[in-house]
Amino acid sequence: MIIRSIKLANFRSHELFGLQFNQTITKIVGENGCGKTSILEAIYEALQGKSFRAVDREIVRRGAEFYRVELDYTDGRKTVVYYDGEKKEFLAEDKKARRLPKKSKYPIVLFEPDDLNLVGSSPASRRGYFDRVFGQLSESYSLALSRYNKALRQRNELLKQERVTLADIFSWNMLLVQYGTSLMESRAAGVEKINQKITDTYHSIAENDDKVALEYLSEVEDESEFLVRLEADFERDRLLGHTSFGIHHDNYEFVFNQNKADGSASRGEVRSLVLALKFIEAQMVVEKLGKKPVVLLDDVFSELDMIRQKCLMRNFSGNQVILTSVGEGGLMIE
């Protein structure tokens, strides 16, 4: 057990809410729309420093001016998140900060119903998913991604200006190349690590001899080629008003018996593949960070058959698990 309790004020639909967690598994049951997912969102924010769903102004309960999250750990530590409508502050280990300090973060494996559609989702959705996975494992990855995206926004803004020249965007080109190359190398290494485990982990769920893999696809080949293309595509980008080449177009493809899984794998096989990915994510967290992640399961049991439900709970038996489930009546904790 990692976290003991949480208190919410004006967090989405919750005016005031408190929850004491069970030793291993805490089940939050209620009808759709009663705020179950919001509780997981608040836990995620207190442990990771940001929401997985929205920006702060969208989280404040309608009619309120602030929101507050207070999370207590079993070791006596406490994290408080406070947003006053304009800025957010964290109080961790008796120190205030605008961002949650690295040492105050705790790893999470989050499982949402949409994750079961990951194989057939858009490239942007898959990029976002793996950015979250790799970013949790590496602070330098998160920093490089943030700086790449900032440089990309600045370059795109300049491209919309009528008299912009290649010289005007040279510094932004260099930043895109610098941080983009770092991200590309980290993504390739992360996929290689996943592929070392994915077939065996998949077999432990599906109990067959199918071969599965994850492919990382990037239109960028190396650092020098990246810069050459950015400069060569300047006129085209200026007409389009955005950057048409770069690692922000990267993609990930799931391969099932040497064919694209999207279209060749059955619904059950896809679900087993995604489950395998979640188990590997948890293993990578332990290997890299030395901590067993808190597992947040948002209404995924309704999408899984009994065999996969049992497999899910068996693989996470050593973790603190907090899950939501649809049920009649008001919000209940089991």
Note whether residue 38 is domain-resident. yes
Note whether residue 297 is domain-resident. yes
Note whether residue 314 is domain-resident. yes
Which pLDDT score is estimated for 94?
87
Note whether residue 33 is domain-resident. yes
Would the pTM of this model clear 0.95, i.e. be above it?
Answer: no
As given in the structure block, the two tokens for residue 322 are: 């907090």
Which pLDDT score is estimated for 173?
97
Average pLDDT, the chain: 94
Note whether residue 41 is domain-resident. yes
Which pLDDT score is estimated for 328?
73
Phi, psi (deg, nearest 5) at residue 65: -110, -5
Note whether residue 40 is domain-resident. yes
Which pLDDT score is estimated for 312?
92
Which pLDDT score is estimated for 301?
87
- Interval 103-139: pLDDT, tens: 999 999 999 989 989 999 999 999 999 999 999 999 9
- Of the candidates 64, 73, 107, 71, which has an alpha carbon nearest to the alpha carbon of residue 1? 73
Q: How many residues does the chain have?
A: 334
Q: Provide the number of structural domains found in the chain.
A: 1
Note whether residue 319 is domain-resident. yes
Which pLDDT score is estimated for 133?
96
Q: What is the mean pLDDT of each run of 10 residues along the chain (334 residues)?
A: 96 96 92 92 96 94 97 96 96 93 95 91 95 95 97 97 94 97 97 96 88 95 92 96 96 93 87 94 96 95 89 92 85 77
Note whether residue 152 is domain-resident. no
Residue 7: CATH number of its domain: 3.40.50.300
> CA torsion angle for 105, 114, 303, 321 (degrees, to 10)?
0
The residue segments making up the domain with residue 94 are 1-106+293-334
